[in-house]
Amino acid sequence: MDSSNQRAAESSGASFMASGDALRNDWLFPQLFTSVPSLNDAASYLAETTSLFTSCFSDFSVDRAPDDPGGREMVTLVSGETRGHLDSNYVSSRGSTLSHVESSYAAQGAPSAHDEIATGLIGDSSQNSSVLVNTANSSQSSIPMFQGLIERVRRTVRGSADDIGWLQRALDLPPVEDGNERFVEILDDIRHGLRRLPNTVVYLLVPGLFSNHSPLYFVGTKTRFSKMGLTCHIAKIHSEASVEKNAKEIKDYIEEIYWGSRKRVLLLGHSKGGVDAAAALSMYWPDLKDKVAGLALAQSPYGGTPIASDILREGQLGDYVNIRKLMEILICKVIKGDLQALEDITYDKRKEFLRKWHLPEELPVVSFHTEANTSPVALATLSQVAEAELPMFAPLSAGQAATVPVVLPSGAVMAACAQLLQTRYGEKSDGLVTCRDAEVPGSIVVRPKRKLDHGWMVYSSLNDDQSEADASQVCEALLTLLVEVGQKKRHQLAMKDE
């Protein structure tokens, strides 16, 4: 290779590398995959591959400005004068060859070939210029295609990394207060037979998503409260309905209970049930402020959940397999619910709702969240979700049919989801809700050290530790703490009024 060709090759290589750097650094990957360092190499490889494709498309149709340091490209349309100039240069560069051909033709008495070749070159140049412009157009249309693919990859990998814990970052929201120490004391008293729940209020338990398909949801807690002589109800709402629809039903429940008993209502909502209950008190507080004594939220995605957001977020690679449509079929057709129920606990919907509605300051609120166990033992955990009647095995002397527990690997699923959220986002969770998203601003927060998954509050595990408190005792402790918080808040308000 001669020196001129070598310099041209080096210039071309430098141009290609500049183009690749510009594509990679200027706009394709701004701070991409910072939350997942293990994917950096794959991201760089994808950027270089994209640069290679786009450079190949524009190699013969795009001229680079010599003084353009950013590597920007500019398509040059060839005019008639320029084309003629290029043709003459092309013909002159082949002068010796053409002269040799002409001399051969002249010796045989043939007409000069110079004009024919030059005419052919001019004609070909005209056709080539249109081909080059078409190639430039196709190159310009292909670049957005790659940009769209890269954006989908970025949104998919980034996921909910920027949304988790947004409540703690909001400067206009009140801080939380740690109530874990007092909760542990109350729970210990309950396990030793000391109970403080008053019978001057009615207890309303609000179940979460898919509770209509879970016969044992909150049944153990209601049974325990009834044995203690306390009035307790489970809200019969359509759990797969939207938050606003359930909020209206809970509001009607509270008013019906109050007008029937003349007692105020103390609410405990689990999972989405806590979000529904909070929405009812936020939206209808002027009608409910004299009828409600407090609210406890157990493992509730008050700020949202990455599980719902990552499934339903648009503009991801999952759009190619239409994950949203599959979830719509599952919830709407199979479960006979409303997809809005899942959308309402995404980060976007929770931010939109909380900008419009917020819990009143005078309402006593307790937040409870846990961290799931992700050990190999937890990945094999089975949970009891229902009881099946087997009348053929019933004793003849018994008047009731025999029942057996219906178990599912829900505990294992929660452990796997918790491990996924820990690996992907570095966040602790109960398998569905991260700890930070379950803390309601201005509330008393309970953060137990015991490893409990999202379903433990309503479903007992087959390998539960009998030396630890069960779910009904934890619910009793939470409501007892809520009563104390309410008394303290009423005293503070009274002192403030004075």
Structure tokens that stand for 463 in this block: 């390998």
The whole-number pLDDT of residue 48 equals 60
- Per residue in 374-405, is it b (16+ CB within 10 Å) or e — as a string? beeebbebbbbbbeeeeeeeeeeeeeeeeeee
Q: How far apart are the C-alpha atoms of 256 and 231, rounded to whole Å?
A: 14
The whole-number pLDDT of residue 493 equals 81
Structure tokens that stand for 24 in this block: 């990679």
Q: How far apart are the C-alpha atoms of 175 and 303, rounded to whole Å?
A: 14
The residue count of the chain comes to: 498
CA distances from 310 to 51, 328, 345, 432, 435 (A): 29, 15, 11, 12, 17
Q: For the chain, 498 residues long, give each residue's pLDDT as a single digit of tens.
A: 444 444 444 444 444 344 444 434 444 444 444 444 445 555 555 556 555 544 554 443 344 444 444 443 333 333 444 444 434 444 344 444 434 434 444 444 444 444 443 444 444 444 444 544 455 555 555 567 667 777 778 778 888 999 999 999 998 899 999 999 999 999 999 999 998 999 999 999 999 987 777 777 899 899 999 999 999 999 988 878 899 999 999 999 999 999 999 999 999 999 999 999 999 999 999 999 999 999 999 999 999 999 999 888 877 666 655 666 666 666 666 555 667 888 999 999 999 999 999 999 999 999 999 999 988 877 777 776 666 655 555 454 455 556 666 776 778 889 999 999 999 999 999 999 999 999 999 999 999 999 999 988 887 766 677 788 999 999 999 999 999 999 998 888 888 776
Q: How far apart are the C-alpha atoms of 491 and 304, rounded to whole Å?
A: 33
Give the position of tokens 């103390």. 266
The whole-number pLDDT of residue 31 equals 45
pTM of this prediction exceeds 0.85: no
Q: How far apart are the C-alpha atoms of 181 and 179, rounded to whole Å?
A: 6
The torsion angles phi and psi of 298, rounded to 5 degrees, stand at: -110, 115
Is residue 436 exposed (0-12), middle (13-18) or buried (19+ Cβ within 10 Å)? middle
The whole-number pLDDT of residue 93 equals 44
Give the position of tokens 């041209």. 8
Coil, helix or strand for 274? helix
The whole-number pLDDT of residue 314 equals 78
Structure tokens that stand for 443 in this block: 């509330």
Beta bridge partners of 367: 297, 445
The torsion angles phi and psi of 172, rounded to 5 degrees, stand at: -90, 5
Enumerate the domain spans of the chain.
155-305+340-371+433-495
From the options 3.40.50.2300, 3.40.50.1820, 3.40.50.880, 3.90.650.10, give the CATH code of 155-305+340-371+433-495. Answer: 3.40.50.1820
